[in-house]
């Protein structure tokens, strides 16, 4: 691949019009050969997308986290959560947001609302043994609320999220013999 890098340098220096073409072919070559480490050096987003094509969501998310670019990480977390929701894996999607962070980006509110609805509507959620599921949802929505700039139209959403924030304590009050982790 040293040859490709040299070709890219030559293209930039002598034929600038071809530089983008050579760069694109270089990235494609790295991706096709599965050389994600090298691809990471020249195109992080391309490397993350290649991981996603291989179904390696956790590795892709960790790679995005390592970039210390929160909007990039938020994008991929939301994409994965959407996939999990399509598969009806609501608890896993909630844990995903708890692990990687829940952005207060209004574009994600429909995701959070769907997760909240699904957790609330699960049978036996007043059972003391489901504290962890309630607590995870509470933590996610708390992250979202903390990130919100309170605008008039967001007050209602924040109120709904805060209401859900307190739901994990419901089983504790219903059954006084609950051991909370």
* Contacts by residues 142-145 (CB-CB < 8 Å, ≥ 24 positions apart): 143/97, 143/98, 143/101, 143/102, 143/104, 144/102, 144/103, 144/104, 144/108, 144/109, 144/112, 145/104
Q: For residue 80, what pLDDT is reported? A: 96
**How many C-beta atoms surround the C-beta of residue 145 within 10 A?**
20
Domains of the chain, by residue range, sit at 68-174
DSSP 22-41: HHHHHHHHHHHTT-HHHHHH
Question: pLDDT above 70 covers what percent of the chain?
Answer: 54
- Is the whole model's pTM more than 0.85, yes or no? no
On the 0-12 / 13-18 / 19+ scale of CB atoms within 10 A, 174 is exposed
The mean pLDDT of the chain is 76
Per-residue pLDDT, averaged over 54-69, amounts to: 88
Distance, in Å, from the CA atom of 115 to the CA atom of 49, rounded to the nearest integer, reads 25
26 or 66, greater pLDDT: 66
Please give the DSSP secondary-structure letter assigned to residue 170.
H
């Amino acid at each position: 691949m040293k040859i490709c890098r040299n070709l890219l340098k030559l293209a930039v220096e002598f034929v600038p019009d071809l530089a983008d073409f050579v760069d694109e072919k270089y990235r494609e070559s790295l991706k096709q050969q599965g050389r994600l480490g090298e691809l990471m050096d020249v195109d992080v987003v391309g490397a993350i997308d290649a991981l996603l094509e291989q179904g390696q969501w956790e590795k892709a998310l960790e790679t995005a986290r390592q970039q210390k670019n929160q909007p990039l990480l938020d994008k991929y977390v939301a994409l994965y959560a959407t996939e999990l929701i399509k598969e009806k894996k609501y608890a896993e999607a909630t844990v995903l947001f708890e692990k990687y962070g829940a952005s207060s980006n209004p574009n994600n509110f429909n995701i959070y609302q769907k997760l909240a609805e699904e957790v609330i509507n699960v049978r036996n959620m007043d059972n003391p043994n489901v504290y962890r599921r309630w607590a995870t949802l509470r933590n996610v929505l708390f992250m979202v609320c903390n990130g919100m700039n309170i605008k008039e139209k967001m007050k209602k959403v924040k109120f709904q999220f805060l209401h859900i924030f307190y739901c994990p304590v419901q089983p504790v009050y219903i059954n006084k013999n609950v051991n909370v982790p």
